[in-house]
Structure formats: C-alpha cells, structure tokens
Structure 1
Amino acid sequence: MGMAWLIIIALVLIIIQSILFTKWGLSRIGYTRFFSDDAVFEGEEVEMIEQISNKKLLPVPWLRLESHISADLQFQHQHELEIADQQFHRSLFSLMPFQKITRRHKVTCKKRGHYRLNTVEMTNGDLLGLNGTHGKLQVSAELIVYPKLLSIEEIFLPSHSLQGDYSVKRWIIEDPFMKVGIRDYLYGDAMNSINWKATARAGTLQVNQKDFTADHHLMIYLNFELTDDIWMPIMDRPLIERGISYAATIAQYALDQGIPTGFSCNSYIKNFDQPNEKEPIRILPKNSQHQLTLLLETLAKLQMDRRVSFQSFLQEEAEQQMPNTDILLITGYLSEKARERIQQLEAQGHAVEIFWLSTNSEKESESMEEEKQYV
C-alpha cells in the first residue's frame, strides 16, 4: 500500500510540475541579442552578444533558442552552441529564479552584406523533458558588413600608350579639367595628355600639366551587367564582388584626398519593409565622413541583381545634366548601346575613364586598354 501511495504521489508531482513549467515556463523570460559593432569590414571579427533572464520565482530547467543566421556569418564553435547546416543556430540555457545569463559568440564576417536577425524560436520543457512549450520572440539584431578594401596602389588604369598602366591614385589626384602648364613627358603619362604643338616646338614629348581644383568631382559607376540579357542571372558573382571592392577602395581614397565623391549603379538595395521595391542608387558627390559611411553602407547592401540594363542606367545619368564630372566606370561588359551612352556623357563634358573587370589582372589591363580606345 505504501509503494502505491508513493507512485500516486510521484505521478501527481510529475503532473503538477509539468503543468507549472508548461504554463509559466516561458512567462517573464527576457531575451536580447546584438552585435558588438554596428558595422565591420569583410573578413573582420565581431561579437554577437546574447542576454537571457528569468524574471520570476519559477526556475527554467532547460530552454532552447533556435534562429536562422546566414552562413556568411561564421560562428566559432562553442559547447553550448549547436550549428546545423551552417545556418540553424541552437543555444541551450538553464535558468534559476531571477537569473541573467550573458553569452558572447565570436563571429567572422565572410561576406559583405546587410544582415538582419529578426526572430527567435523558444522551446521550454519540464524537469523530466516530457512536455514542451514553444514561443516566438521578435528580437532584432542588425549588422552591416562593408566590402573588403584593397590597397589603392594595386589598382591600375590603362595609360593609353605603349608605356604601361598608371595608378588610380595618380588619376584621382590629377584633374582632367584643370591644365596649369606644360611639362616633359614622363613614363606612364596618358597619350591624350600630350600637347602636340608644344612637342613640335620643343622637339621632345610635352604633356599638359594638370592640377587639383576645388571643383574636382568624382562619380563612380558600377555595372552589374555581364551580358545583353537583363533577365539572365549574374553568373560570375566573384567578378562583381571584386568590382564592389574596387569601388569602395577608390571612394575611400578619393574622399581622403578631399575630393567630393559619389556613386551610382544599375543594381539596387533591398527594402526589408517593402521586399518588392527596388530602390535605385544615386549618391551625388560630396566630401564628408558621413559621405564615406553612406557609400560603404550602400556598397554593403547592394543586391547581386540588376534594376535596369546598363545602357538604360547611363541614359538616366545623362539626363541628370550633371556639371563637369570625372566618371570612373567599373565594368566587365559593355554593349553597343552602352558605348553610345558613354559617348553621350563625354559630349556633355564629362571625363569618362573605363576600369575593365576581368577574371585575371593581365587580361584586365589589356581589356581596359582596348575598350578605352574603342570608346
């Protein structure tokens, strides 16, 4: 008889604790998560910080949190963190009454992007793990990963001569609209800077000396088009990603030199609140720290897709009637119509330089030279 009562009491206690933890286990549970930095560069580390608290007298024997996180945010393995398929993250907690736990996870940012973590699935169980309740929390955490920056010294443009290429650094500093005199030809000078009348008089090659002016404005264009078919998905994503890194590097350097710099392209930024809306991108040249942040954030958020064809984009730019601007056009492909639009921009008084993207640096230099001569 005594054993029977023990069994009955045990069953009653099991039922009572199951009811208690099922009904109130998830009540007054607080959870937040955030990143240690709002923005970092591709390849850098950041911490994702989780804070969970039990704000009641009833303990929580176990609580599992599950969330979907992009595989491009690579978490270091920890014993309390389980990662499935590099995307589904599960954390297990056990909370005493009025206890708060903080966990820090080191994350390597493998790819540029705009990452939003919006929801967390919670599962709570009783002492014996017999019953569980589920809930969902709206918990926002946001991280912007800027494109990887390169060395400006490694980025070259064609010299339009047989002497070789010259650096973007030098092209940015010299203003093609401001001629201040004549000087002797130097290795790597652009062929179109030669002053033939002065050369005839001097008997040696002479070039127009250019200088920096306060009116020097730079606009960077990036083409996401690799074929004439706008509906075809972008097949060479690494090539476009390299173009984005070039754009970020050049923009940062130009702004550091005090040159107002802007950016535009035929891609778009995804609007999380209105997913079907494709926001066009056109940032006018300015010179400020805020401008650099805006450019880097925009480049981080660019979608690997096209809003319009590149020739339509260039037509839109031509219709803006900008004042004389230095345009650096980063592209891996140009259609015949796009070339016509470039000529239209040049006819308006803009200095257009083509930076040709290719799968290897040697071909990149050769292709840039051929395209510029063609245009």
Structure 2
Amino acid sequence: MELIVLLLLLVAAIWLQGVLYRKYAFRRLDYSCSLDRREAVEGDRIRLQEVVSNRKLLPLPWLKSEITTSKWLEFSELQSVVTGDTRFISSFFLVRSFQRVTRTWEGRCLKRGVFTIEKTVLVASDLLGGASFSSTAPAGSQVVVFPKALDLEENFISISRNMGETCVRRSLLPDPFFIAGVREYQQGDPMNHIHWPATAREGRLMVYQNDSSSSQSRAVILNMQTREYANSGAVDADLLENAIRTCAALFEQTAGENIPLRFLANTPDAIATEEAWGESCLHSLLELLARLPLKSGEHFPFYLNALHDSLTATDIILVTCYLDDAILRFAHDKMDAGVPIRLYLLDPNPLPAEAGDLDICMVQAPSAQKGGAAL
C-alpha cells in the first residue's frame, strides 16, 4: 500500500512539474539576439550575441534557441544546418533561477548583401526532459555587407595599346590647359598635340602629355547580364559578383580622385544615380551594390541605345562579363565622339579583332595573378 502511495505521489510530482514548466517556462524570461555591427565588408568578422535573463525562481535545466538567418553569415563555433539560402543555428543554455547568461559567437560575412536574423524560436523542457515547449523571440537584427573591392592592378591586365601592362590608376580625360610632359606618339593622338622640338630631338614623333581635367566627371556602367542572350537571372552568379566587386574598386578609386561619379546598371528597376562625389557618395554607392539583385532588366543592347545620347559624363567605364557587337559599337561611337571609354572585361577568352583599338582591361586567369590569388 505504501509503495502504491509513493508511486502515486511520484506520478503527481512529475505531472505537477510538467504543468509548472508548461505554464511558467517562458514567464519572466527575456531573450535577445543581435549582431554587433550594422555594416561590414565581405570577409569581415562579425559577432552574434545572445542574452538570456531568467527573472523567476523556476530554473530552466534545458533551453535551446533556434536562429534562422542567411547561409552567408557563417558561425563556425555554433551547430548549424544550411538548407538552400537559409542557415539554422542552434544554441543551448542551462539557466538557473534569477540568472543572466550572455554568449558571444564569432562569425564571418561570406558574401555581400543585406542579411537579417529572420526568426528565433526558444524551446524549453521540464526537469526530466519528458516534455518540450516552444515560443518565438524578438528578431530582426540586420547587417549590410558591402562588396569587397578587387585589386584592379592585380586582377586585370591591359590588352590595348600597351600590351602586357597591368591596368593602373590614371585619369581618362586629358586637359589641354595642363601640360604634364611629353611622350611618344600613339595611334589616335591628334596631330595638333605633336611637340615638334621634342620630335626633332628624339628622332620620332612626340606629343604633349596632358594632365587630368578639373571639370572631369565619370560614369560607371554595369552590365547585369553574364551572357549575350541571358534572361533576367544571372547565368554565372560568381562572374557577376566579381563584376560588382570591380565596380566597388572603381568607386573607391574615383572617390580618392574626388571626381563626380554616376552609376548606371540595367537592373529590373534600372539604376541611374545623380552625379556626386566624396565619402557620402562612396558610402551610398557601396550600399547600393550591397543591395543589388543578381537580375537584369532591359536587354543590354537596348539599354545602351537608350543611354547613347543622354550620357553626359566626360569619361565612361563599362564593366561587363562579355563583349558583343552592341558593346563594341557603343564603345567605338563614344571614342569617335572624343569621349574616353574604358572597358573592364570579366571574360578571359580571346577578344574579337574589332576590339583591338579600344582601351580594355581584361581579367587575368587565376594562375597569372600575383601570388596565385584568385578572383
């Protein structure tokens, strides 16, 4: 009889603690999950901080947080599962009565974009682990990850007039009122720029080397198509990501030269920023690149035709993953009109003969880059 009573009391105790935990496990329990920075660059370290505060007498012997975020935020110390573009992160706690627990996890931003702690679910159990209960927790912490600028000199090589030279930082637009020196004549130089005394002295045609213009403005055009006949989605996402990183490098270079800059791209909602310069302009453009979808809008030849007469920049840089007749025709038309234009080409395949007189910087194969660094 006593044994039966003890068993009944034991069953009653188990049932009672189950009821208590079901009713009070999440009462007076505070949980927060946040990222330590709002902006970062690809490859940057980032911290995820979890804070659990149990403000009641009832302890929590087992508490699990299940965090949903992007797979491009990697936290190697945490147990996680990746499904598609989503990463599910699990973290476990033992929280005593009236205890506050803070944990900080080191992570890394793998890719540009805007990433959010989308959802957090808390799962608790009773003392014996016989039952579990769940509740949602506040989420929404966000980080904007800017693209990491490519090293233009390391990753691109000029295949225009000076074969084999790397693409170095220089101004595209010369100013006839500022003379920096003399240099050897190159095909396409105007005859009225010939420096006759230097020509007589050197025995070959020499021309004035002009400094850059103080009234210079620049337009960077990004082709969002990775193939000539591609649909709206990117056929080669990695190639387009490197094109975006190339734009980031060009933005930083132009900001350093304090040249007014515009950015244009054939995204689904076509991008055409106003001319601006300085650090605030650079920050805005990098954030724009961070938010850029890997989708194209208007077919690039039609997009270039629409731009042809409305583009007023004194020099143009076009970043593209391929060359076709429309791009070559646009570049030649601008060059014939006296507008300096440079192409950054992400396709390492041989160029067509029609591109021989253009200023083109072609991506180097990974094995040809300094130290074997790959894009």
Q: Quick check: TM above 0.5?
A: yes
Aligned position for 2:369: none
Using the alignment, how far apart are the partners of 2:251 and 2:265 within structure 1? 14
Using the alignment, how far apart are the partners of 1:118 and 1:185 within structure 2? 59
User: Structure 2 vs 1, CA of residues 12 and 348 (structure 1 numbering), >3 Å: closer, same or farther?
Assistant: farther
Using the alignment, how far apart are the partners of 1:135 and 1:31 within structure 2? 11
Matched, 1:302 2:306: no
Which of 320, 331, 344 aligns to 1:355? It is: 344
CA-CA distance at 1:144 after TM superposition: 1.9
Indicate conservation of the 8 Å contact 1:220/1:263, yes or no. Answer: yes
Using the alignment, how far apart are the partners of 2:325 and 2:338 within structure 1? 21
Indicate conservation of the 8 Å contact 1:157/1:355, yes or no. Answer: no
Which of 306, 314, 317 aligns to 1:328? It is: 317
Structure 1 residues 311-334: Cα deviation after superposition (integer angstroms, max 9, x where no partner): 233244346x34333110011224
Aligned position for 2:97: 97
Which of 258, 265, 281 aligns to 1:291? It is: 281
Across the aligned residues of Structure 1 and Structure 2, the Cα RMSD in angstroms comes to: 3.0
Aligned position for 1:192: 188
Using the alignment, how far apart are the partners of 1:243 and 1:178 within structure 2? 33
User: Structure 2 vs 1, CA of residues 312 and 42 (structure 1 numbering), >3 Å: closer, same or farther?
Assistant: same
Which of 330, 336, 351 aligns to 1:367? It is: 351
CA-CA distance at 1:63 after TM superposition: 1.6
Mean Cα deviation higher: 198-207 or 242-251: 198-207
Indicate conservation of the 8 Å contact 1:156/1:165, yes or no. Answer: no
CA-CA distance at 1:22 after TM superposition: 0.9
Indicate conservation of the 8 Å contact 2:218/2:314, yes or no. Answer: yes
Aligned position for 2:79: 82
Structure 1 residues 255-287: Cα deviation after superposition (integer angstroms, max 9, x where no partner): 0122222322123xxxxxxxxxx5432223322
User: Structure 2 vs 1, CA of residues 197 and 18 (structure 1 numbering), >3 Å: closer, same or farther?
Assistant: closer
Aligned position for 1:270: none
Structure 1 residues 210-256: Cα deviation after superposition (integer angstroms, max 9, x where no partner): 32333211221111213233426433222222211111112112201
Mean Cα deviation higher: 228-237 or 58-67: 228-237
Using the alignment, how far apart are the partners of 2:46 and 2:104 within structure 1? 10
Aligned position for 1:37: 37
CA-CA distance at 1:289 after TM superposition: 1.4
What secondary structure, in the 3-state scheme, does the structure 2 residue paired with 1:154 have? helix
User: Structure 2 vs 1, CA of residues 23 and 353 (structure 1 numbering), >3 Å: closer, same or farther?
Assistant: same
What secondary structure, in the 3-state scheme, does the structure 1 residue paired with 2:343 have? strand
- Superposition map of 1:125-136 within 5 A: 125-136=125-136
Mean Cα deviation higher: 119-128 or 342-351: 342-351
Output the TM-score relative to the length of structure 2: 0.82
Which of 304, 310, 321 aligns to 1:314? It is: 304
The amino acid of 1:121's aligned partner reads: V
Structure 1 residues 171-225: Cα deviation after superposition (integer angstroms, max 9, x where no partner): x3x5245553484325xx8643454662677352223433233321122111121
User: Structure 2 vs 1, CA of residues 164 and 200 (structure 1 numbering), >3 Å: closer, same or farther?
Assistant: farther
User: Structure 2 vs 1, CA of residues 243 and 193 (structure 1 numbering), >3 Å: closer, same or farther?
Assistant: farther
Aligned position for 1:142: 142
Percent identity over the alignment is 24
What secondary structure, in the 3-state scheme, does the structure 2 residue paired with 1:298 have? helix
CA-CA distance at 1:368 after TM superposition: 9.0
- Superposition map of 1:235-254 within 5 A: 235-254=235-254
Using the alignment, how far apart are the partners of 2:120 and 2:356 within structure 1? 52
Structure 1 residues 36-88: Cα deviation after superposition (integer angstroms, max 9, x where no partner): 222222122111111222233322222211123333222122xxx32224822
Indicate conservation of the 8 Å contact 2:32/2:52, yes or no. Answer: yes
Indicate conservation of the 8 Å contact 1:356/1:367, yes or no. Answer: no
Aligned position for 1:226: 226
CA-CA distance at 1:139 after TM superposition: 0.5
Using the alignment, how far apart are the partners of 2:328 and 2:23 within structure 1? 68
Indicate conservation of the 8 Å contact 2:121/2:135, yes or no. Answer: yes
> Which segments of structure 1 move beyond 6 Å, counting only runs of 4 or more?
none
Using the alignment, how far apart are the partners of 1:193 and 1:348 within structure 2? 14
Using the alignment, how far apart are the partners of 2:90 and 2:155 within structure 1? 43
The amino acid of 1:180's aligned partner reads: F
Indicate conservation of the 8 Å contact 2:304/2:330, yes or no. Answer: yes
User: Structure 2 vs 1, CA of residues 369 and 115 (structure 1 numbering), >3 Å: closer, same or farther?
Assistant: farther
CA-CA distance at 1:21 after TM superposition: 0.9
- Superposition map of 1:60-209 within 5 A: 60-77=60-77, 81-85=78-82, 87-154=87-154, 156=156, 158=158, 160-161=160-161, 163-165=163-165, 167-170=167-170, 172=171, 174-176=172-174, 178=176, 180-181=178-179, 183-185=181-183, 191-193=187-189, 195=191, 198=194, 202-203=199-200, 204-209=204-209
CA-CA distance at 1:344 after TM superposition: 5.9
User: Structure 2 vs 1, CA of residues 332 and 84 (structure 1 numbering), >3 Å: closer, same or farther?
Assistant: closer
Mean Cα deviation higher: 300-309 or 197-206: 197-206
